[in-house]
Amino acid sequence: MDDEQFREKVVRILESIDSKLGKLEDKLANAKAIPGRVVTGENKAPLDVDALLSLPDHLRQTAMVVSTKGSVDAEDVAKETGRTRAAESDYLNQLVKMGYISRKRVGRTVYFHV
């Protein structure tokens, strides 16, 4: 492969990457345009698209279950994600500390909600 062929190949690869990045930017812009940011309280961080995208995958999955199911305990989340209750309890408490969700104790059960 001579220099000219190599340059052409690099240019095609870069154009492909540029095209894919453009599509991702469009999808992100559309996602941000979704109305109705969910806010978890006065001093809490919003649980919106940007927040979800910034979370590590394990916390994002947990946050998505809480936001779609409403008020849940760690066992409910574990059933949805297929992970252990103990792991989900840890993840839920991390999300509470980060300000994305709240918790409320009812008897011996702790419920988490947006």
Domain boundaries, the chain: 1-33, 49-113
pLDDT (tens digit per residue) in 23-58: 877 776 666 554 444 444 444 567 778 888 888 999
Report residue 16 as tokens: 């492909």
CB neighbour class for 113 (10 Å; exposed up to 12, middle 13-18, buried from 19) = middle
pLDDT (tens digit per residue) in 62-83: 999 998 888 999 999 999 999 9
User: Which one-letter DSSP state was computed for residue 59?
Assistant: H
Cα gap 3→106, rounded to integer Å: 71
Domain 49-113 class, CATH top level: mainly alpha
The end-to-end CA distance of the chain, in Å, is: 58
User: Which one-letter DSSP state was computed for residue 41?
Assistant: -
